[in-house]
Amino acid sequence: MKTSISYPTEGAMGKTGTWRVFRPVVNAEKCIKCYRCWIFCPDCAIEIDDFPVIDYDYCKGCGICSNECPVKAISMEREGK
Ligand code: SF4
Ligand code: SF4
């Protein structure tokens, strides 16, 4: 299943992924495919291709997806590590 209700687009400030300090990383072994992360991402930077796939070109690293995940399958890791 590949689906999205909206897509991020490049704005006047370019691709918003460059704003990120922490990046969300999905642990597929923990993920139960509830798709709450996809529903809650304010930037529509998550696509569902069976598992959630983060679009790092547009993900701002807000951490909402990690916060909303019921099984803590998304960790926020510092960029550049
Ligand atoms: S919220 Fe967590 S468990 Fe649900 S689809 Fe996203 S990563 Fe998987
Ligand atoms: S960190 Fe924020 S912008 Fe990035 S995928 Fe998660 S909810 Fe979306």
φ, ψ for residue 8, nearest 5 deg: -75, 150
Residue 55 CB coordination number (10 Å): 17
Give me the pLDDT at residue 54, please.
Answer: 96
pLDDT digits (tens, 9 = 90+) for 18-33: 889 999 999 999 999 9
The alpha-carbon radius of gyration of the chain (Å, integer) is 12
Ligand whose nearest atom lies closest to the CA of 19: 2
Give me the pLDDT at residue 51, please.
Answer: 95
Give me the pLDDT at residue 10, please.
Answer: 81
| Test site for ligand 2: of 51, 54, 56, 57, most ligand atoms within 8 A of the Cβ | 54
